[in-house]
Amino acid sequence: MSDHIKIGIFDSGIGGLTVAKEIKKTLGNPPMIYYGDTAHLPYGDKSKESIVFYCQKITEFLINKGCTHIVVACNTASAYGFSSLQKKIKTSIHLFNVIDPVVDYVAACDNLNKIGVIATKGTTISRVYPRRIKKKNKSLVVRSVAAPLLAPMIEEGFYNNNISQTIINSYLSKKELQNIEGLILGCTHYPLIESEVKKYYENKVRIFNSAKIVAKSLSVKIKSSQKTKQSKSLFYVSDYTESFQKSAKKFFGEEIDLIKNNIW
């Protein structure tokens, strides 16, 4: 395997920047190319056929940019489009998604009987988390709640305030999530509201941050000899607005330049 790596990361918008941020932190700032398909967001209300098409087209773009490892940093895309990528991409490209590492991690945890999942409508309808976790650990009870307001709320910068806490509380108080011992943040936007989720549970429930778990899983699979020197990363979006530029800084944790590149 080549010592030279370049990590491609894509999402329906800019939520996947939370994954990019953790990968940068964990792997020592490897060269990354990010693509946010802001022209088609959110993927949660798109058909499976559309999502598969978007995933394949973006993956081809990242491969053409020289990416050796590609992370599908969107839960809905991971649920509906990842298997098609595995079948279609016959090269030496290494493919990752944001669901399987979390499933493996949660299924192996001790002292868990009932866990909850909050996610977009698309991810919740797919039942990907309950199905895959139960396949790994039949003793776990898994309950999911769709939280369609959270991603757009976060993308618009409405979090860490009284309004956002009220909306978050309304979802977490659903009967499906009563008496859980762990909660999966099943959308790459949700790490930005992790502190508010912990506040609701008074730190009595384990919170599973998918961005951190995925970055750690990726670091294990990429040998230390493959890690490269620090390199400038590139961030593309299919549509550009000033609001995305401002939000991107919050998701990635530092100022970045978004480059408009409509591959469609």
Catalytic one among 55, 67, 109, 187? 187
Is residue 138 left, alpha or beta, with left meaning phi > 0 and alpha meaning psi from -120 to 50? alpha
Q: Which two tokens stand for residue 125?
A: 């309808």
Cα separations (Å) of 170 from 56, 64, 138, 197?
A: 36, 44, 29, 11
Of 55, 67, 74, 109, which residue is the catalytic one? Answer: 74
| Active site (annotated) includes residue 55 | no
Cα–Cα distance for residue pair 47/186, rounded to 1 Å? 19
Q: How far apart are the first and last CA of the chain?
A: 32
* 187 in catalytic set: yes
Q: How far apart are CA 18 and CA 73, in angstroms?
A: 9
Query: In sequence order, what DSSP letters do the residues of 126-176 get, joined into one string?
Result: HTHHHHHHHHH-TT-EEEEEE-TTHHHHHHTT--SSHHHHHHHHHHHTSGG
Question: Would you call 32 helix, strand, or coil by DSSP?
Answer: strand
CA 47/CA 49 separation, integer angstroms: 5
- Using alpha carbons, select from 159, 185, 169 the residue that is nearest to residue 19: 185
Question: Could you tell me where the beta strands, DSSP code E, fall in the chain?
Answer: 7-11, 32-36, 69-72, 94-97, 114-119, 141-146, 182-186, 206-209, 234-237, 258-260
Give the residue numbers marked as catalytic: 74, 187
